[in-house]
C-alpha cells in the first residue's frame, strides 16, 4: 500500500510560528510532527510515501530528503497553486493503482492501522474514513455513522431528507480506491470531503467508517498544539515510535508523573525540576530558579530570568522574547 501525507497547507492558525517553520516540521516533544506520521506508516509496512508541498515546501523536502534516513521512500508532489485536499489526492492519478492511505501531516495517531485496512477490505467500499465518536454538540461532528458502519451524513448531505445529528469527527485518515480519483477535477482547488464525499452521500454510495480505537491528536490551533504535547506525554510510550530515541539521558520506563528527559550540554543549576520536563541539547536554564511542570525546551533554548517555566514550549533557538499565547500555555519561538 502507498500513502499520501498532506503537507501543503499554510498553517495560518499557528502563525506567526508557521511563517518561519512549516507546520509539518513544528516539533512535538522536540520531534517534527511529520516524523510521527512517517514512522506510523512505516510500522504498518507502508514505505512508499508521497508528500504534497506548497507553503515552505523546500524546507520540508530539505529536511526529509528521499526518506532513506527513515527507512522509507519519499516522493514529492509540488503544487504551484495550492489545490486543497481533493486536488492533492487527485494527483495520485497514475501513481496508485490499488487502495492507498491518506493522512494529514499535523496530526498524531496511536491506534491499530491494520484494523482499519482490514475493515476497508471487508466492506467492499471505495472509501474508508477513520473517525472518533463525538457528541452532536461538538461543531466538528458533521458525520453520522449508522449501526452498519456506513456514513449516512457528510456535512449537510444525508441519506434522508432530514439531516441526522452528527455522531462522529473525521480524523483525517482515509483509505481510498483509485476509482474515486476520476471524480476529482484536475488542477483545481477541491475539498475531498465537501466535493467528493459529500456527493457520494448525496447519491447514497457507501462510505465505510471505522471508529478509531486509540489516540488522535490534532495540532491545528495554539491550544491544540499545547494539548497535543502535554497529553502525548501522558500517553507515552507510543507503540510505533520513541520521540526520545536520540536522547542520552532518559528513563527506561516512561511515566509522565516523573518524566525528566535531558539532552546533551545542558546548562542547568541545582534547581527544582517538576516533571514532566523535556530539555533539548544545549538548553540554558541558568537564569531560572525552577523548571516545570509541562515544560518542553528545544535545542539551544535560552530561558531569560522571570520567564514562564510551566505549561510552556520553547522551540529550537528561542530566547523567550517572542511567543504565541494560548489558554493552556505559551509557545515561544
C-alpha radius of gyration, the chain, whole number: 21
- Taking residues 83-109, what's their average pLDDT? 96
Q: How far is CA 200 from CA 25, 140, 195, 227, 241, in A?
A: 34, 20, 9, 34, 36
Q: How confident is the model at residue 297 (pLDDT cuts 50, 70, 90)?
A: very high
Look at residue 230 and tell me if it is in a domain.
no
pLDDT of residue 152: 98
Cβ atoms < 10 Å from Cβ of 212: 23
pLDDT of residue 61: 98
Range of the domain at 317: 244-333
206-233 tens-digit pLDDT: 999 999 999 999 998 999 999 999 999 9
44-56 tens-digit pLDDT: 999 999 999 999 9
pTM: 0.94
> In percent, how much of the chain has pLDDT > 90?
93
Q: Do 266 and 331 reside in the same domain of the chain?
A: yes
153-191 tens-digit pLDDT: 999 999 999 999 999 999 999 999 999 999 899 999 999
Q: How confident is the model at residue 256 (pLDDT cuts 50, 70, 90)?
A: confident
Look at residue 238 and tell me if it is in a domain.
no
Which domain CATH number covers 163? 3.90.550.10
Q: Are 34 and 9 a contacting pair, CB within 8 Å?
A: no
pLDDT of residue 254: 78
Q: Do 199 and 84 reside in the same domain of the chain?
A: yes
Q: Is residue 326 classed as helix, strand or coil in its secondary structure?
A: strand
Q: Do 267 and 186 reside in the same domain of the chain?
A: no
Q: Are 18 and 105 a contacting pair, CB within 8 Å?
A: no
pLDDT of residue 257: 86
pLDDT of residue 250: 76
Q: Do 85 and 7 reside in the same domain of the chain?
A: yes
Q: How confident is the model at residue 143 (pLDDT cuts 50, 70, 90)?
A: very high
pLDDT of residue 64: 98
Look at residue 231 and tell me if it is in a domain.
no
* pLDDT > 80? residue 280: yes
112-122 tens-digit pLDDT: 999 999 999 99
Q: Do 63 and 107 reside in the same domain of the chain?
A: yes
Q: Do 186 and 124 reside in the same domain of the chain?
A: yes
> In percent, how much of the chain has pLDDT > 70?
100
DSSP structure string for 84-120: HHHHHHHTTTTT-SS-EEEEETTEEEES-HHHHHHHH
* pLDDT > 90? residue 274: yes
Q: Do 196 and 89 reside in the same domain of the chain?
A: yes
Last residue of a domain, one of 184, 218, 252: 218
DSSP structure string for 226-276: HHHHHHHHHHPSPSS--TTTT-SB--SS--TTT-EEE-SS-B--S--B-SS
Q: Do 257 and 131 reside in the same domain of the chain?
A: no
Look at residue 235 and tell me if it is in a domain.
no
Q: Is residue 174 classed as helix, strand or coil in its secondary structure?
A: strand
Cβ neighbourhood burial of 51 (10 Å; 0-12, 13-18, 19+): buried
Q: Are 285 and 269 a contacting pair, CB within 8 Å?
A: yes
How many whole angstroms separate alpha carbon 2 and alpha carbon 221?
Answer: 29
Q: How confident is the model at residue 275 (pLDDT cuts 50, 70, 90)?
A: very high
pLDDT of residue 247: 87
Q: How far is CA 205 from CA 43, 192, 198, in A?
A: 32, 15, 10
* pLDDT > 80? residue 251: no
Residue 21 φ/ψ, nearest 5 degrees: -115, 125
Q: Do 191 and 277 reside in the same domain of the chain?
A: no
Which triple of cell numbers denotes residue 136? 452532536
Count structural domains, the chain: 2
Amino acid at each position: 500500500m502507498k500513502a499520501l501525507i498532506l503537507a501543503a497547507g499554510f498553517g495560518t492558525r499557528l502563525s506567526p510560528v508557521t511563517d518561519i517553520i512549516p507546520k509539518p516540521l513544528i516539533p512535538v516533544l522536540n520531534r517534527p510532527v511529520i516524523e510521527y506520521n512517517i514512522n506510523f506508516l512505516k510500522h504498518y509496512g507502508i514505505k512508499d510515501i508521497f508528500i504534497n508541498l506548497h507553503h515552505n515546501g523546500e524546507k520540508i523536502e530539505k529536511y526529509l530528503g528521499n526518506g532513506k534516513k527513515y527507512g522509507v521512500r519519499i516522493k514529492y508532489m509540488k503544487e504551484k497553486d495550492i489545490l486543497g485536499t481533493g486536488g492533492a489526492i487527485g494527483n495520485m492519478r497514475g501513481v496508485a493503482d490499488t487502495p492507498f492511505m491518506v493522512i494529514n501531516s499535523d496530526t498524531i495517531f496511536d491506534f491499530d492501522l491494520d484494523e482499519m485496512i482490514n475493515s476497508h477490505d471487508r466492506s467492499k467500499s471505495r472509501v474508508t474514513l477513520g473517525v472518533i465518536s463525538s457528541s452532536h454538540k461538538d461543531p466538528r461532528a458533521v458525520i453520522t455513522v449508522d449501526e452498519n458502519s456506513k456514513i449516512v451524513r457528510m456535512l449537510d448531505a444525508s441519506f434522508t431528507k432530514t439531516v441526522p445529528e452528527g455522531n462522529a469527527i473525521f480524523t483525517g485518515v482515509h483509505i481510498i480506491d483509485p476509482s474515486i480519483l476520476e471524480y476529482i477535477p484536475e488542477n483545481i482547488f477541491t475539498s475531498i470531503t465537501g466535493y467528493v464525499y459529500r456527493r457520494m452521500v448525496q447519491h447514497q454510495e457507501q462510505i465505510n467508517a471505522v471508529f478509531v480505537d486509540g489516540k488522535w491528536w490534532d495540532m491545528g490551533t495554539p491550544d491544540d498544539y499545547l494539548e497535543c504535547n502535554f497529553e502525548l506525554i501522558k500517553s507515552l510510550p507510543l507503540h510505533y515510535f520513541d520521540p526520545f530515541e536520540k536522547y542520552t539521558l532518559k528513563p527506561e520506563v516512561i511515566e509522565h508523573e516523573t518524566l525528566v528527559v535531558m539532552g546533551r550540554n545542558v546548562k542547568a543549576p541545582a534547581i527544582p525540576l517538576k516533571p514532566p520536563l523535556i530539555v533539548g541539547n544545549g538548553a540554558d536554564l541558568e537564569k531560572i530558579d525552577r523548571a516545570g511542570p509541562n515544560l518542553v525546551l528545544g535545542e539551544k533554548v535560552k530561558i531569560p530570568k522571570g520567564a514562564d517555566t510551566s505549561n510552556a514550549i520553547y522551540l529550537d533557538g528561542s530566547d523567550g522574547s517572542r511567543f504565541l499565547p494560548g489558554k493552556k500555555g505559551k509557545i515561544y519561538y
